[in-house]
Amino acid sequence: MIPVETTFLMIKPDGVQRGLIGKVISRIEEKGLRPVAMKMLWIDEETASEHYAEHKGKNFYEPLIEYITSGPVVTMALKGDSAISIVRKLVGDTDPKEAPPGTIRGDFGIEISRNIVHAADSEKSAKRELDIFFDEEHFQDYSRVEEEWIYE
């Protein structure tokens, strides 16, 4: 049985500023994943520090916090079978220079510090990141009519 998962995706300030919100969401929906929570916000320094806590002390931490708080982002909870691994494949390698064409980062990014999106890399990360950005009441559980044509 393939696990139905909920994962976290963020369109970062460069993706928002470049007008890529619709393109990112389209790729997710066209793949067959279902957004179940979404919001646009300007992340404050405290939330950014919580989100990127595992990078604290690394040489790129301070520039990362400055960047992620520099403009609005779009945060999403995405649901579907194997959602975590599927989203990771859709977004591509962290470094856009290494990301294959056809992935979000491969098609729209050039520099690692401006790579359009963040995606949870594991169940543990997805849960932690979803808890940072969403309360239980933000989630909408629904099914789409085409799901019978996507899943067995």
Percent of the chain with pLDDT over 90: 89
Specify the DSSP class assigned to residue 47: H
Range of the domain at 71: 4-150
Number of domains in the chain: 1
Residue 75 three-state SS: strand
Task: Confirm whether 118 is a catalytic residue.
Answer: yes
Average pLDDT over residues 51-77: 96
**From CA 124, how far away is CA 65, in angstroms rounded?**
22
- Which of the residues 51, 55, 118, 138 is marked catalytic? 118
Please give the pLDDT value at position 106. Answer: 97
Please give the pLDDT value at position 86. Answer: 97
pLDDT tens column, 24-41: 999 999 999 999 999 999
List 39's β-bridge partners, or say none.
75
CB contact set of 131 (below 8 Å; sequence gap of 6+): none
Please give the pLDDT value at position 3. Answer: 63
Tell the burial category of 148 from Cβ atoms under 10 Å away from its Cβ (0-12, 13-18, 19+). exposed
CATH number for the domain including 52?
A: 3.30.70.141
